[in-house]
């Protein structure tokens, strides 16, 4: 039995039953990392002795008969843009390569409380600002399914590692698609929780601007939807360091009613993308759900514009100066492109944008009152070739990522479920639900997943 192939749930169960030790699992995970990471560059910082010490502590708990967390001994990776004590919170920046955290982000604490073994730190684009994972500090991460395709961004390292069997669960974060798109590109699953469900705080930096506070969330990636749920449960919880954090009341049973929309606002999609969406709808119907096709949705293109305004427009000079100081071509492309698309934003317009956001949130919340689950594409196209953004331009990219950039502006949960392959490119579907209804996403996702997903974990393709 190759332990690195197992899911988080399987791994935790074997450890709990004493059929394997946490140390054996850790050694298998380290060996897998050594075997495939050189081809991927997904994990860019790790300490094997630290991993072994964590696993030994779990085994000591078992020997004492102590209560175990739900992820006891499960290998998990952490993205390099959140604080993990003793490691650099570089965010892919040369200027922060030596910014060593002295305390943990709440996400890290959550995984540790659950008993997880933190295996290594995963790569991100500079400033975590692209759908492609590359930076001047650590270099590019490869997609294990096809190195000619992006692994996604900004959690491309987490997605590539998880798809290749480096850890069972990968931590990521999402302000414009940075969990959902890498999951799609690498053929696994990833959750963008709703605003406030997972606490976050980095002591290594200042408090985030209002756009980041409203839209950036921490979320898990995994090879099974059940493991995504386990990751979310470990990460979620009360932490007073995050003023947006709240504990949602118990979620009711999903009503098994869903809707889907293939072309909201006339958005064009690749034939393979629409086929995957309709396939996911049929899978839900086969599982006993009522599924209704809608002609339209509340504003999605406008939500995407609001997302970019809130991301970039509250401190454009500071953002651009930081990007120019780093000199990363991809980051400069993304930030200049967003600024050009949004245009100059006065303080009045910025306030009006926040006000308009409230109306959009209301419209989407009303939709989820009628249809508790919504299916829509992850992206308008199959996963992009490497650096397609630099070749084709920011507007080209933006017009293909409305399904990614729109949902963060409304703050609802969204789950990417990978459903198959078109050649070497994964396809999948995005599942949305109302605030505090992550469980609705999981229920629909498991029904869709049960009818087939891309094989994983996989060996990196040359």
pLDDT above 90 (res 314): no
- Give the pLDDT confidence score for residue 171 in this predicted structure: 99
Residues with a catalytic annotation lie at 79, 154, 178
217: β partners: 174
- Give the pLDDT confidence score for residue 352 in this predicted structure: 96
Cα-based angle 68, 70, 71 (whole degrees, multiple of 5)? 100
Is residue 122 very low, low, confident or very high in pLDDT (cuts 50, 70, 90)?
very high
Nearest CA among 133, 35, 163 for reference residue 424: 163
Cβ atoms 338, 224 nearer than 8 A: no
> In the chain, what percentage of residues exceed pLDDT 70?
100
pLDDT above 90 (res 35): yes
Q: What is the pLDDT of residues 321-369, one digit of tens each?
A: 999 999 999 999 999 999 999 999 999 999 999 999 999 999 999 999 9
154: preceding bond cis by omega (within 30 degrees) = yes
Is residue 371 very low, low, confident or very high in pLDDT (cuts 50, 70, 90)?
very high
Cα separation, 395 vs 115, in Å, equals 44
Domains and CATH numbers, the chain: 3-449 (3.90.1300.10)
Region 185-212: what's the mean pLDDT? 97
Cα separation, 431 vs 180, in Å, equals 10
Cα separation, 152 vs 180, in Å, equals 9
Which of 151-165, 239-253, 260-274, 361-375 shows the lowest mean pLDDT across its residues? 239-253
How far lies 431's CA from each of 122, 154, 439, in Å? 25, 20, 11
């Amino acid at each position: 039995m190759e332990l690195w192939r197992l899911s988080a749930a399987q791994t935790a169960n074997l450890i709990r039953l004493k059929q394997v030790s946490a140390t054996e699992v850790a050694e298998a995970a380290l060996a897998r990392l050594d075997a495939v990471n050189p081809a991927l560059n997904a994990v860019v910082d790790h300490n094997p002795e630290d991993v072994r010490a964590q696993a030994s502590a779990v085994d000591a708990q078992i020997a004492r008969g102590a209560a175990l967390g739900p992820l006891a001994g499960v290998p998990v990776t952490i993205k390099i843009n959140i604080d993990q004590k003793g490691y650099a919170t570089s965010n892919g920046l040369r200027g922060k390569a030596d910014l060593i955290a002295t305390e943990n982000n709440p996400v890290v604490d959550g995984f540790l409380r659950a008993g997880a073994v933190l295996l290594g730190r995963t790569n991100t684009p500079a400033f975590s600002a692209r759908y492609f994972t590359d930076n001047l500090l650590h270099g590019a991460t490869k997609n294990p399914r096809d190195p000619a395709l992006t692994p996604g961004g900004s959690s491309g390292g987490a997605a590539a590692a998880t798809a290749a069997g480096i850890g069972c669960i990968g931590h990521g974060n999402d302000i414009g698609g940075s969990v959902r798109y890498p999951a799609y590109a690498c053929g696994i699953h990833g959750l963008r929780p709703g605003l406030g469900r997972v606490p976050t705080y980095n002591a290594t930096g200042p408090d985030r601007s209002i756009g980041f506070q409203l839209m950036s969330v921490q979320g898990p990636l995994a090879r099974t939807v059940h493991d995504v749920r386990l990751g979310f449960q470990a990460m979620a919880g009360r932490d007073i360091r995050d003023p947006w954090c709240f504990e949602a009341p118990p979620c009711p049973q999903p009503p098994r009613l869903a809707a889907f929309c293939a072309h909201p606002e006339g958005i064009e999609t690749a034939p393979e993308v629409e086929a995957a969406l309709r396939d996911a709808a049929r899978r839900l119907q086969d599982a006993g759900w009522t599924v209704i096709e809608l002609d339209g949705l509340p504003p999605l293109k406008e939500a995407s514009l609001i997302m970019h305004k809130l991301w970039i427009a509250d401190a454009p000079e500071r953002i651009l100066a930081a990007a120019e100081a780093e000199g990363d071509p991809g980051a400069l492309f993304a930030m200049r492109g967003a600024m050009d698309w949004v245009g100059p934003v006065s303080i009045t317009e910025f306030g009006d944008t926040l006000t308009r956001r409230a109306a959009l949130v209301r419209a989407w919340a009303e939709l989820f009152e009628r249809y508790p689950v919504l299916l829509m594409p992850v992206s308008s196209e199959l996963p992009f070739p490497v650096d397609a953004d630099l070749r084709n331009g920011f507007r080209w990219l933006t017009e293909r990522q409305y399904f990614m950039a729109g949902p963060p502006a409304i703050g609802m949960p969204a789950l990417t479920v990978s459903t198959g392959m078109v050649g070497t490119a994964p396809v999948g579907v995005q599942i949305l639900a109302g605030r505090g209804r992550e469980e609705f996403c999981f229920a629909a996702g498991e029904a869709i997943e049960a009818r087939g997903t891309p094989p994983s974990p996989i060996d990196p393709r040359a």
